[in-house]
Amino acid sequence: MSSEKAQQQSDKAKGCLSCSFMVLGVILPAVGFAYGMKVWQDVAASATLSGIIFAVFWLGALVSALLIQDISWLYSFLPTVGGVVYAIAPDFIPLPLDDITVLAVGIFFSLVLIVKKIAPPYVLLAVLVTGLYAWFGREWIVGCVDEAIVFGVVLIFGFIFSRR
């Protein structure tokens, strides 16, 4: 088997693994929520367990997708398609918070995969750090100014370090 063929097989396996993680990341949080309600009988603890399960599986999907060497355009958009399908599917949770979260995470993952496909690694790093900062960081300056500063700083340092 040629090196190129072996790489295609490896990329295909990583793609299947990533898709499996995404599907499990949508299904297993409901199971975790039901388990939490049965054991702890606490909505907050059950929701936290569901969120952790979702984050672990979608992070696994992102990591395995980032390991793909030659990612296709179709595969780059699969996380967004998955988020849209989840958003229009019947709800397990009555409020739209889960739909919005899954759709936003899917769009962010697609953005990361597209940037990986077309841009240098330091741009991917800047997008990842800024996205994570926007979701989990504090809002130091009102609006998107602090995210723009974080993006610029990471982009500049990434560019400088990539030239060495």
Instruction: Give the DSSP letter of residue 15.
Output: H
Query: Which string of DSSP letters, residue by residue, matches 92-118?
Result: SSSSTHHHHHHHHHHHHHHHHHHHHHH
Verify that 88 and 151 share a domain, yes or no.
no
Mean pLDDT of the chain: 87
The mean per-residue pLDDT over the stretch 31-37 comes to 92
- What is the tally of structural domains in the chain? 2
Verify that 20 and 101 share a domain, yes or no.
yes
Verify that 143 and 75 share a domain, yes or no.
no
Verify that 79 and 36 share a domain, yes or no.
yes
Domain that includes residue 10, residue range: 3-118
Verify that 112 and 160 share a domain, yes or no.
no
- Which is nearest to 74 in space by CA: 86, 62, 82? 82
pLDDT digits (tens, 9 = 90+) for 111-122: 989 998 898 888
Q: Would the pLDDT of 92 be above 70?
A: no
The CA-atom distances, in angstroms, between 154 and each of 48, 74, 85, 147, 148 are: 31, 28, 33, 11, 10
Q: Which two tokens stand for residue 76?
A: 């780059």
Verify that 114 and 125 share a domain, yes or no.
no
Verify that 57 and 126 share a domain, yes or no.
no
- Which is nearest to 147 in space by CA: 125, 129, 120, 163? 129
Verify that 87 and 132 share a domain, yes or no.
no
Q: What is the pTM of this model?
A: 0.80
